[in-house]
């Protein structure tokens, strides 16, 4: 079974990602912030990580930078309300695989995930 990690401070968003991916054969772990996500990512192997940017404790860009320090291959999608080009560029530089703007349709998320997860 494929594994996904959904990182968002909103329980609603975490559940939405879970509901979109579980029927596609993913087991989905969730984290409320980048720090929690980092702890999970150090203990588990994931096929994909889907992370918000604006979160307390450790934001998505800080998480991405730390995550990429020990994992260069797992796709990371940034799922955010941010549409600023500078933020997108920063995420790309830090190693983000893609960008999905909230609100999103679950079928769009599934399409992107299927494209980046082999």
- Sorted by where each begins, the domain ranges of the chain are 2-113
**Quick check: 95 pLDDT over 80?**
yes
18-38: pLDDT as tens digits: 999 999 999 999 999 999 999
Mean pLDDT, to the nearest integer, of 90-108?
93
Q: What are phi and psi of 31, to 5 degrees?
A: -140, 145
pLDDT of residue 118: 78
49-59: pLDDT as tens digits: 999 999 999 99
pLDDT of residue 43: 97
- CATH architecture of the domain 2-113 equals 3-Layer(aba) Sandwich (3.40)
pLDDT of residue 85: 85
């Amino acid at each position: 079974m494929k594994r996904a990690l959904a990182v968002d401070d909103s329980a609603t968003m975490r559940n939405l990602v879970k509901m979109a991916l579980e029927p596609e054969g993913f087991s989905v772990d969730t984290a409320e912030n980048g720090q929690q996500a980092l702890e999970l990512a150090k203990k588990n192997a994931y096929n994909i990580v889907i992370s918000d940017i604006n979160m307390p404790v450790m934001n998505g860009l800080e998480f991405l930078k730390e995550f990429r320090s020990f994992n260069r291959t797992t796709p990371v999608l940034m799922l955010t309300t941010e549409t600023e080009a500078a933020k997108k560029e920063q995420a790309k530089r830090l190693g983000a695989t893609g960008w999905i703007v909230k609100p999103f349709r679950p079928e769009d998320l599934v399409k992107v995930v299927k494209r980046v997860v082999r």
